[in-house]
Amino acid sequence: MAAVNFQDMIRTLEGFWAERGCVLMQPYHTEVGAGTFNPATFLRSLGPAPWRTGYVEPSIRPMDGRYAENPFRFQQFWQYQVLLKPAPDDVLDTYFESLAHLGIDLVRHDVRLVEDDWEAPTLGGWGLGWEVWIDGMEVTQWTYFQQMGGLELDLFPAEITYGLERLALFIQQKRTAFELEWAEGVTWGDVYRENERQWSIYNFEAAPVDVLTRRFGEHEAECKQLIERGIPLPAYDQVLKASHAFNLLDARGAISVTERAAYIGRVRNLARAVAKLYLEEADARAPV
Amino acid sequence: MPALLFEIGCEELPAGACREARGQLPALVQSKLGVDPSRVLISPRRIAFLVDELPDLSEPVWLKGPPTSAPPQAREGFARRHSVSPDDLVERDGFLGALVAPEALEERLASIVRGIAFGKTMVWRAGGIRFPRPIRWLLAKLDSETLRVEIPDVPSGAVTYGHRFTHGEFDVPDAGAYLGLLRNADVEPDADERERRIRGGLDAIGEWSDPLRKLDEVLYMVESVRVLPGEFDERFLALPRRVIDTAMQSHQRYFPLEGNRFAFVANGGEPETVTAGNRQVLENRLADAEFTFERDRRVGIEGLESRLSQITFFQGAGSFIDKTERVVDLVRKLGGGEASLEAARLAKADQAAELVREYPDLEGHIGAEYARLAGYPEAVSAAIDEQYLPDGQDAPLPGTEGGKVLSAADKIDTLHVSFGLGHKPTGSRDPYGLRRAAIGLCRLADEGGLTVPRDLLRDDVRDFVEERLESLLDVPVEFVRAARRSAMTELGGVAWLARQLAELPDDRLGPIHTVYTRAARLAGDAEGDVDPALLAEPAELALAQALQGTDLSVVAARSPQAFAAAADLAPVVERFFEDVLVMAEDSAIRANRLALLAQVRDEVGRLGDFSQIPR
């Protein structure tokens, strides 16, 4: 197997999915916990319009930071996200072909689909699918969406989320993410170790609880105003910002178990309202 | 008669869906085809069955209609509904019926696809059918004839698929060839056969274990069985064993062996490559656990305990520090010794441990490990370890006294807090596991012999807990209800008494029952003292005297003598009713006699409320 470095792995996936009709997008401009939150997935899953996309997304999860001391936990890691709407009948075969494209020999290795259903309580979304194992290593989350923003879907998309660090650990046969080759002569650690340390300090110690609490409310209020105004796309950014504020507050230990459910419910309500408006808007703009 | 094969080809099904299909197919096939399947073959990518000899299904089917005695309108209506002439109705066993063309085999097979009831299903095509995962092909063969089964968007043909990566699509020339061809294509579709091979493979590797019961799931995670041995770096053996085993089992579904060995089941690949990869994955998980363990250890159990003030136990019920104080107090009231009190103080410390956040199922156990590392006596660690037992109806009880006391105190506190905040379980909703806590408490008192004073529980909690005894004990509920209103002072005693009452022979229970119910009925809610000066009749004097010499409160000490003593009152009471007019004209005498009967009621009532027991 060719030890493809991190950036070549991304380029390979981009090339592979571009050839299969995906619109190559870029990471979104505000923090998201997963590529699913990117409007290119969340909003585009809704409605009757077919859509295919692929993009890299940094997954920002403040709770998971470990000050760069633990080589298996990070507050920021990378996903390659693919959404195929509607899911083609041969979508699994195509996915396996992408692994072969990365140089993975599907016969030498034990490649498995292991039941793993997906639910995003803040997005009001759920789907059924798998995690994909290669020799026991989970390298991809695979989901057939069933509902998003609390709404039934018109077309059922397949979401394929490659965990790039996990995949690279496997492809490069490295023991820790820090040792992964990002580009020739440059490791993942060179690029992100210090980032992990500083952001862990921010997430766990320095992020201002009172400011974030206030901001959560402000994002919520602004989101509602923008929904009133009938512009779901800017409103959705406020959902993302509120969601990130919540994640930071959670990392700061500022949210009790019972409060958690209430916060999640508030974000979900926003996401639902945005999804509903987005669909109405799309209907209104559609040529009769 | 021809052989039939039907295969529903799917994307990888969850183990639960495979089990559901396996459980339902035999009856479903019987009801749709009128014959038992010869084999049911279930694997992650296929739900299939074979019928070796399919009976002739082309005979018209007789559909039962109205009885022969029914009026003509009923006959005509029935005939019209089935598009036959009323004259063509055929009688069988006193009923008229219509002979109609049978459903085609293809349609019956399609209705089998639709007929399996799965708990969790999805849609993959707008307007398409629901199934646990997408169906990608159908294969139906009647001997060598290929049948087309109509399920929208799913191709139905003469082909199946072998192992996903080593064998592709191939033709199945006839039903009988299916199994052999699949096996040649590296698929074992028979779940029993896979299980046999997995067990055999594991046995060949060594003494394996399966504490979290993963084998039933692994069975449906492979189409081809490869059982492989693995090892991990010995340095990880420094981790608590349960952490190692859980890391292996909970996500990876490996089977732990002694020391640093494990076994796992793969679906393909080169053994060396696959083993090396799995070892790496496990070591990454263990390294992650090791990292977390070390961080916790540096903080130490005392340090973790001091962080509890920042962790909310329950909205409205303070932090885990508050919980700890309440539990310590309860342990004292339950008569816990030094070790139990120490354990209670440290019991919740691991709620602040990072390792518990990673492995929530190991709460208690991880705290116990940290207490051991800090040099606490074994009795303290053991009690911390056992504080959540029993965690199910058949789960084991704590083995140590400290564990029992701590577990009971923890459950009582959880119940008190939840009821205090109005979170009483309703219907099937019990988000805080209060029924389980109450059942656990009953078992600790009954099977565990722990003294749990009834007056330690607030009234609504006591009722809730004691109601659990009704289903927990193997005794008719009326005896439990009777015992709950006895003079028993502790929970275990209620259970003991309920059993005693249920086992009393009729000639013993009968007289006691009569004494109680007659006295209670007549006395009503009478109270007050008996004035000896007003006693005149010999029978009432005798009863007063007998009562003087009877103390049924010994029942609280679980003395079976109490039943004999109560039965001894029977003849005296009977004579009283025969000889004495309770409703005397003189109101003072009447009140005195009623007070005497109230005493009988109250004395015998120490053994329970016999009016609960129907006779």
**pLDDT tens profile B406-426:** 999 999 999 999 999 988 888
Which chain B residues are within 8 Å of A256, Cβ to Cβ?
312, 315
Residues B145-168: tens digit of each pLDDT: 999 999 999 999 999 999 999 999
Q: How far is CA A82 from the centre of its chain?
A: 10
Please, which residues 19-38 of chain A have a Cβ atom closer than 8 Å to chain B? none
Tell how strand B90-92 and strand B135-142 pair up.
unpaired
- pLDDT mean across residues, chain B: 94
The pLDDT confidence band at residue A288, using thresholds 50, 70 and 90, is low
CB B188 within 8 A of CB B163: no
Residues B558-614: tens digit of each pLDDT: 998 999 999 999 999 999 999 998 888 899 999 999 999 999 999 999 999 999 998
State the CB neighbour count (10 A cutoff) for residue B296: 24
Q: Which residues of A18-36 are buried (b: 16+ CB within 10 A; e: fewer)?
A: eeeebeebebbeebbbbbb
Distance CA A241, CA A30 (A): 7
CB A178 within 8 A of CB A188: yes
Strands (E) across B112-193 are located at 135-142, 145-147, 156-157, 159-161, 169-171
Q: Is the pLDDT of residue B184 over 50?
A: yes
Q: Is the pLDDT of residue B527 over 80?
A: yes
Distance CA B512, CA B608 (A): 10
What architecture does CATH give domain A208-285?
Up-down Bundle (1.20)
- Nearest-CB residue to A258 (from B132, B284, B315): B315
Specify the DSSP class assigned to residue B138: E
What percent of chain A shows pLDDT beyond 70? Answer: 97
Which residues, in sequence order, are CB contacts of B96 under 8 Å at separation 6+?
B65, B66, B67, B68, B70, B75, B78, B89, B90
The pLDDT confidence band at residue A217, using thresholds 50, 70 and 90, is very high
Q: How many residues belong to chain A?
A: 288
Distance CA B148, CA B107 (A): 9
What architecture does CATH give domain A6-203?
2-Layer Sandwich (3.30)
How much is the average pLDDT of B431-458? 94
Q: How far off is chain B from A227, nearest CA to CA, in Å?
A: 29
Cβ contact (<8 Å) for B136 and A115? Answer: no
Q: Is the pLDDT of residue B87 over 90?
A: no
Q: Is the pLDDT of residue B428 over 90?
A: no
CB B43 within 8 A of CB B191: yes
How much is the average pLDDT of A197-222? 96
**ipTM confidence:** 0.95
CB B247 within 8 A of CB B289: yes
Compute CA distances B444 → A15, A161, B389, whole Å.
Answer: 64, 48, 9
Q: Is the pLDDT of residue A175 over 90?
A: no
A257 touches chain B (CB under 8 A): yes
CB A71 within 8 A of CB A176: yes
State the CB neighbour count (10 A cutoff) for residue B64: 12
The type of residue at B25 is L
The pLDDT confidence band at residue A1, using thresholds 50, 70 and 90, is very low
The pLDDT confidence band at residue A3, using thresholds 50, 70 and 90, is low
How much is the average pLDDT of A258-275? 90
CB B161 within 8 A of CB B9: yes
pLDDT of residue B392: 76
Strands (E) across A71-136 are located at 76-85, 111-115, 118-120, 125-134
State the CB neighbour count (10 A cutoff) for residue B450: 22
Higher pLDDT, A256 or B50: B50
What architecture does CATH give domain B505-612?
Orthogonal Bundle (1.10)
Chosen from A110, A112, A118 to mutate, greatest number of chain B CBs within 10 A: A110
- The C-alpha angle with vertex B267 and arms to B140 and B226, in degrees rounded to 5, equals 115
pLDDT of residue B615: 80
- pLDDT mean across residues, chain A: 94
pLDDT of residue A103: 93
- Nearest-CB residue to B126 (from A107, A156, A258): A156
Least trusted range by pLDDT, from B234-238, B326-330, B535-539: B535-539
Among all residues of chain A, which has the CA nearest to that of B11?
A92
Kindly report the CATH number that applies to the domain delimited by B307-472: 1.10.3210
Residues B473-522: tens digit of each pLDDT: 999 999 999 999 999 999 999 999 999 999 999 999 999 999 999 999 98
Q: How far off is chain A from B526, nearest CA to CA, in Å?
A: 50
What percent of chain A shows pLDDT beyond 90? Answer: 88
Which chain B residues are within 8 Å of A66, Cβ to Cβ?
291
Nearest in space to A80 (alpha carbons), one of A93, A95, A100, A64: A95
Cβ contact (<8 Å) for A112 and B267? Answer: yes
Q: What is the dihedral of CA A33, A35, A38, A41, to 10 degrees?
A: -140
DSSP H helices in B40-161: 72-81, 105-115
pLDDT of residue B526: 83
Q: Do domains A6-203 and A208-285 have the same CATH topology?
A: no
Residues A38-67: tens digit of each pLDDT: 999 999 999 999 999 999 999 999 999 989
Distance CA B145, CA B156 (A): 13
Q: How far off is chain B from A117, nearest CA to CA, in Å?
A: 10
Residues B210-219: tens digit of each pLDDT: 999 999 999 9
Which chain A residues are within 8 Å of B319, Cβ to Cβ?
none
Q: Is the pLDDT of residue A2 over 60?
A: no
Q: Residue ranges of the domains in chain B? A: 4-56+105-184, 61-100, 191-294, 307-472, 505-612
Among all residues of chain B, which has the CA nearest to that of A112?
B267
Residues A118-147: tens digit of each pLDDT: 999 999 999 999 999 999 999 999 999 999
Q: Residue ranges of the domains in chain A? A: 6-203, 208-285
Q: Do domains B307-472 and B505-612 have the same CATH topology?
A: no
Distance CA B443, CA B465 (A): 11
How much is the average pLDDT of B131-148? 98
The pLDDT confidence band at residue B30, using thresholds 50, 70 and 90, is very high
Which chain A residues are within 8 Å of B266, Cβ to Cβ?
110, 135
Which chain A residues are within 8 Å of B290, Cβ to Cβ?
none
Tell how strand B226-231 and strand A181-183 pair up.
unpaired
CB B54 within 8 A of CB B29: no
